[in-house]
Amino acid sequence: MSSTSATWTSFIKSLASYNGDLSSLTAPPFILSPTSLVEYSQYWSEHVDLFLAPNFIQQEPDDIDSVELKHMVAVLRWFISTLKSQYCSRAETLGGEKKPLNPFLGELFVGRWTDESPSQSFGETLLVSEQVSHHPPITAYAIQNKTNKTTLQGYNGIRASMSATSLNVRQYGHALLDYENLNEKYLITLPPLHIEGILMAAPFVELEQKSYIQSSAGYVAVIEYSGRGYFSGKSNSFKARIFKNIREAEDKTKALYTVSGQWSGVSSISRGHTIASDAQVFFDANNSKPQHLTVKPIEEQGPLESRRAWQKVAQAIRANDYNLIHEEKSKIENEQRELRKKEAADDTPWKQKFFKEIDYTSLTEEDDETGYIKLANMANLSLKNILSGSIR
Ligand code: HCR
């Protein structure tokens, strides 16, 4: 057995007892990503045009659909467009899924997308992502476009467990999308996933089960994910159906629209509950380049900003220098331990900089300014901090 495969074997053994806490996983250097998990929030908006698209949709005199249904179709298209960046980008840029850096408490990632629209009608879109909890790891984020009064806010954490061949990951949290000019909000739940190819040392993500998008206008999209061998026999497959409301969603034949295909490739859309032979292309991930955000140069970043804080660890990972990775990571971890001790001694607990925690179970629909409770009730989803998309 070579030393590489020996380290991989011991890594697989450590995965068997993985509890979702990234820091407890000692992975071999070749599986480490130089990017912190706090950066992953940027994947929500790498198709700014689709993120903002509902703002530019108007009702036409000969439209069969309500304008709110047209918005829902556009929101679903944007959501599908985020999946390749969220779940495939490491495989594409780094040659396989990697273990991200485990963000420290208060770690920040900020950036902006410039306006690349020909009409300059988008304006700037800003991202703030903050690690709001370390144990368990939870990241909160807000993406805001002031020009078009469009905001996405959310948080997520993960719970993971190892089965015989794959790492199964469930996501906690949700995202709330607000189109203020349209007076419409959308609740987005996060799909479960698993990492395949671990035994072969070639890990990749596959989404599974369902996620939902609930619109404040009532429409709901139910998205079902599958891998090789289910609907189309292809990896990264999905089938999404849009219904008038959650009750209609109990009967697939009541679907107003059906979208089917690969979220990392091409998908098609048809009216009704099946995909017709004349279905239109819905989204083509191969022909829609992601727009990466701009981040300040490292020298201008603050000490809590992710790329500055992890700079030396990232360099060590790129250099494949295991001792240096360990040394530099330990410095950050020790510093964090000292900070927590000092906070406890001074009785000044760490405070989130940009986000505040909301206990939805203690609020009524009327008191909840975010609109989450109303949307969760419309979709029949639980208000408790349980797995994303859990039904009440
Ligand atoms: C599961 C995962 C960490 C969490 C990552 C999340 C769920 C984070 C929120 C983003 O919005 C979406 C997202 C995308 C990632 O695909 C997902 C990561 C994939 C791998 C990583 C594991 C903890 C890494 C385990 C190590 C592997 C290579 C064996």
Write the pLDDT tens digit of every residue in 164-174. 888 999 999 99
Write the pLDDT tens digit of every residue in 7-54. 888 888 888 777 767 677 778 888 999 999 999 999 999 999 999 999
Residue 292: other Cβ atoms inside 10 A: 12
Q: How confident is the model at residue 2 (pLDDT cuts 50, 70, 90)?
A: low
Write the pLDDT tens digit of every residue in 137-191. 999 999 999 999 999 999 999 988 888 888 999 999 999 999 999 999 999 999 9
Cα(292) to ligand 1 centroid in Å equals 19
Q: What is the pLDDT of residue 199?
A: 87
Q: Which amino acid is at 10?
A: S
The model's pTM: 0.96
Q: What is the pLDDT of residue 232?
A: 52
Q: Is 99 in the pocket of ligand 1 (CB under 6 A)?
A: yes
Instruction: Give the SS3 label for residue 221.
Output: strand
- Whether residue 34 contacts residue 101, with contact meaning beta carbons closer than 8 Å, is answered with yes
Cα(221) to ligand 1 centroid in Å equals 24
Please give the number of the atom of ligand 1 that sits closest to the Cα of 41.
11
Which of 7-16, 93-102, 201-210 is the least confident region? Answer: 7-16
Q: How confident is the model at residue 76 (pLDDT cuts 50, 70, 90)?
A: very high
Cα(138) to ligand 1 centroid in Å equals 13
Alpha helices in the chain (DSSP H): 3-15, 48-52, 67-94, 306-309, 311-318, 322-346, 372-378
Q: Is 91 in the pocket of ligand 1 (CB under 6 A)?
A: no
What is the residue with the minimal CA distance to atom 10 of ligand 1?
A: 40
- Whether residue 198 contacts residue 163, with contact meaning beta carbons closer than 8 Å, is answered with no
Distance CA 392, CA 384 (A): 9
Q: What is the mean pLDDT of the chain?
A: 93
